[in-house]
Structure 1
C-alpha cells in the first residue's frame, strides 16, 4: 500500500511538472502572439492616422482653391474647423513612433512642412479676400514645391510603416501556427491525467454523493421551515390590521361622541392610543409589503426609470409642495430589467426618507442622477455581490439631516432608526429598498455627513450587453 501511494505521488508530481512546463511554453507563445498582434494593430493605427493627416490637408487645400476661385466664405469651413486638428493628428502619430528614431525625424519634417503649407494657405486666403493677386504665380509655385516635399516625406513614413507591418505579420503568423500545436499537446496530456485522476477519485465521489444527498434533505427541510416562517409573518401582519382598525374606530367614536364628557387627560390618552394604533397599522401594512417582497415571484421586464420616477413624482407631489421641496433629475435615466411596481415603491421610500429627515427651515432638495459603472470599482464590502459586471448607478442625493458613515450599513436593517424621537419613522423603508434591489440582482449603499445630507447609490445590473 505504501509503495502504491509513493507511485501515485511520484506520478502526480511528474505530471504536474510536465503540465507546468507545457503551460509556461503555451503562455509564452500566447503572449508573443498577443504582442505581435498588438504590434500589427499599432502599425495599422499609425497608417490610419497618416491617412487622416493626408486627407485633412487635402480638404484644407481644396477649401483654399475653392475660396480663391469663388470667394465664398463657406468654402473655408475645412480650414477653420480642421486647421488646428491636423497638428493634433501629427502629434498623435509622433507619440506612436517614439520607439523609431527614423520615423521621429520624418514626422518632425512632416509637421514643419504642414505648418509652412498652412501658413501659405492662410496668406493666400487673406490676399484672395482682399482681391490681391500680386505674386500669385510665385505663391502657387512655392506651394507646389512644399507639396512635393510633403509627398516625399509622406511616402517615406508610409514605406517604413508598411515594411514594419510586413515583418510583424510574418512574426504573428508564425506564432499563430505554433500555438495551436502546443495547445493540442497540452490538451492530450491533460486528458490522460484527468482520466487517471477520475479512476482514483471515483470511489471518494461515491461517498461524497451519499453525503450530498443527506445535505440536500436538510436544505429542503430548511427551505420548508423558511416558507412556513414567511407565511406566518405574512398572516400575522394581515390579521393584526383588523383589531388595530377597530381600536382606531372606537377611540375616534369616543373622541367625537363623548367629547363633552371627556377630561383633557382622557382626551390626550385617547389621542395617544389612536396615534399608536395608526402607527402600528402602518407598521403591519409595511411588514406585509416587506413579506410580499421577500416572496416575490414576478418576472423582470423592461422598465423605464424615467416613467417610474414620473409616476412617483405624481404620488408625492402634494407632500413636495407642502414642504416646499424640489425633485430634479440631472440626466435621463436608463431602461432596466425590473419590476415596475417594486421600482415605484423603491423611489417612493427614498423620497419619503429625504422628506422625513429634512432639516428644519431648509427647503428639501432631492436630485437624481445616472451613470454606468463596473462592479470592481464599487466598495470592497460589496465586491462579492458585484464582481466585474457592468451596472447602472442611480444616485439619489438630498440636503437633509444626513448621518454618520459609521451607520451606513446599519440603516438598511429592519426597525433600525437613527433619527431623533421627534421624527416619525417605522424603520422599515430602507430595508424595503434593499430588498427590492436584491430582487433586481443589484444592491444599495449609502454615504452621508451629519447636517449635510445623504446620498443613496442604487446599482442595477446591465442585461444583454
Structure 2
C-alpha cells in the first residue's frame, strides 16, 4: 500500500511540475510576444514623430521656395516649392495610415492637414500674384504667417501626444523586458528542480533494484543450496532409507507366511499394521522421490510432445481401474508443445488419478478433457503482468465428489489431504507434483470445485513464438 501511495505521489508531482513548466513556458512566450509588440509600437511612435518633423521641414521648403521666387523672380526656386509641397501631402497620407488606430491623433492630423492646405493656399496666391507681376498684399503675408504659426502649434500638440504615448510604450517595454528574466529564471529553477527530482528518483530506483538484485542473488544461492540438500535427501531416500524399509517389509512378509498361524489375534493385527505402515512408507518415499526429481529439471531435455499420446499412455496404466469403475472419457484434440516429457506424464497421471479416485458412490465416473487458446486478461487468477500473453488451456473436468471452494489452493500444498486415508488412499503429494510441473514450464494450474459436484483442473501453458 505504501509503495502504491509513493507511486501516486510521484505521478502527481510530475504532473504538477509538467503543468508548472508548461505555464511558465507559456507566460515566457506571451511576455516575449508582448515585448516584441511593445518594441514595434515604440518604433511605430518614433516613425510618427520623425514624419511629423519631416512634415514641418517640408513646409519650410515650401516657404523657402515661395520666398526665393518672390524676391528674385527666378523660377528655379519653384522646384523647391513644388518638391516640398509634394512631400508634405505624401507625409500627410503616411501619417494618416500610421495613426488610423488613434482617434485623438487622427483628429489632430485632420486639423494639421487643414492648416497645411490653408498655408499652401496663401503660398499659391503669392506665387501666382508674383507671376502676374501684380503687387502683393501685406495682409496675405500676415495670414500666411498666422497659418504657419497655427500649423506649428498643432504639430507641437500632435508630437506632444505622440511623445506621451511613446513614454508609456517605452515604460511598458522596459517593464516587460524586466519581467522576462524573472520568468526565465523561474523556468530554469523549475526545470532544474524537476531534473534533480528525476535524477533522485532514478538513482533511488536503481539503488533499490541493485539491493533487490543482491537479495535475489542471495535467495537464488539459498535456493540452490536447498535444491542440493533436496537432491541429497533424494539420494538418501532412494538408497539408505529404502534398503532398511525393504528389509522390514521382507521380514514382515516372512512372519506373515511362516509365523502368522502361531500368533494370537492381537499379534496378527499388529503384524498387519506393521506391514501396512511399511507399504505406506514405501509409497510416500516414492512420491517424495518423484517430487524431488521435479525441483531441478536440468538433467531433463525439452522436446515437442503430443499430449494426446501422453494421455493415452496414462489411461493405459489405469485400464484396470477404468474397467472396474466403468469410467468414460471425452478427450479433445490436444496440441503438440515443447515440454519435459516425463513431467507431462507425472502431471496427467496425478490429475486423472484424482478423478478416478474421488468418485461418487453409485455414479459412473465421467471425465472430460477440453482444449482452447486464451489470452491472459481472460484468466481471473493471473496478475496484469500476463494479460497480453496467450496460453494453451487444458481443462480436466470430472463428476466426482469435488471439494469445498476454500480448498482451491490448499490441495496443491504437499502432504495436504482433504479426506481420511482410510476412505481414500494417497499421500497428499500428487497435486503438489502437478503445481511443481507447471512451475517448471512457466505455466499455471488452478482448481475449481463444489462439494459433491465434481472438480475442474485448468492447466495453462504459455504459447511461445
Deviation (angstroms), 1:301: 2.1
* Aligned equivalent of 2:309: 307
Distance 1:217 1:441, change over 3 A: closer
Partners of 1:213 and 1:444 lie apart in 2 by: 28
Distance 1:383 1:313, change over 3 A: same
Tell me, yes or no, if the aligned pair for 1:241 and 1:285 is still in contact at 8 Å: no
Q: Deviations over 1:319-354 (max 9, x none)?
A: 21122222221x211112211111111111111111
* Aligned equivalent of 1:44: none
* Aligned equivalent of 2:340: 339
Q: Deviations over 1:32-82 (max 9, x none)?
A: xxxxxxxxxxxxxxxxxxxxxxxxxxxxxxxxxxxxxxxxxxxxxxxxxxx
Distance 1:255 1:353, change over 3 A: same
Partners of 1:348 and 1:206 lie apart in 2 by: 46
More displaced stretch, 233-242 vs 218-227: 218-227
* Aligned equivalent of 2:230: 230
Partners of 1:385 and 1:284 lie apart in 2 by: 38
Residue 351 in structure 1 maps to residue 352 in structure 2: yes
* Aligned equivalent of 1:71: none
Partners of 1:365 and 1:217 lie apart in 2 by: 47
Distance 1:205 1:397, change over 3 A: closer
Tell me, yes or no, if the aligned pair for 2:304 and 2:338 is still in contact at 8 Å: yes
Distance 1:283 1:386, change over 3 A: farther
Deviation (angstroms), 1:304: 1.0
Deviation (angstroms), 1:253: 0.5
Mapping for residues 54-453 of structure 1, pairs under 5 Å: 215=215, 218-219=218-219, 221-238=221-238, 239-297=240-298, 298-329=300-331, 331-379=332-380, 381-383=381-383, 386-420=386-420, 421-453=422-454
Partners of 1:368 and 1:306 lie apart in 2 by: 10
Partners of 2:386 and 2:209 lie apart in 1 by: 32
Partners of 1:460 and 1:206 lie apart in 2 by: 33
Unaligned runs of 5+ in 2: 1-12, 27-190
* Cα RMSD, aligned residues only: 3.4
Tell me, yes or no, if the aligned pair for 1:386 and 1:442 is still in contact at 8 Å: no
Q: TM-score, normalised by structure 1?
A: 0.54
Residue 463 in structure 1 maps to residue 464 in structure 2: yes
Unaligned runs of 5+ in 1: 1-8, 23-191
More displaced stretch, 266-275 vs 223-232: 223-232
The number of equivalent residue pairs is 284
Partners of 2:214 and 2:295 lie apart in 1 by: 27
Q: Deviations over 1:417-458 (max 9, x none)?
A: 112442112101011111111111111111111112111111
Partners of 2:458 and 2:315 lie apart in 1 by: 19
Distance 1:384 1:240, change over 3 A: farther
Partners of 1:217 and 1:264 lie apart in 2 by: 60
Partners of 1:240 and 1:372 lie apart in 2 by: 45
Tell me, yes or no, if the aligned pair for 2:227 and 2:295 is still in contact at 8 Å: no
* Aligned equivalent of 1:47: none
Q: Deviations over 1:373-429 (max 9, x none)?
A: 1111112x3326743211111110111111111111111100111124421121010
* Aligned equivalent of 2:34: none
More displaced stretch, 210-219 vs 444-453: 210-219
* Aligned equivalent of 1:60: none
Q: Deviations over 1:169-218 (max 9, x none)?
A: xxxxxxxxxxxxxxxxxxxxxxx99xx77995698799779857864663
Secondary structure of the residue that 1:358 maps to in structure 2? coil
Distance 1:257 1:300, change over 3 A: same
Partners of 1:207 and 1:343 lie apart in 2 by: 41
Secondary structure of the residue that 2:371 maps to in structure 1? strand
Secondary structure of the residue that 1:391 maps to in structure 2? strand
- Larger radius of gyration between Structure 1 and Structure 2: 2
Secondary structure of the residue that 2:297 maps to in structure 1? coil
Tell me, yes or no, if the aligned pair for 1:337 and 1:463 is still in contact at 8 Å: no
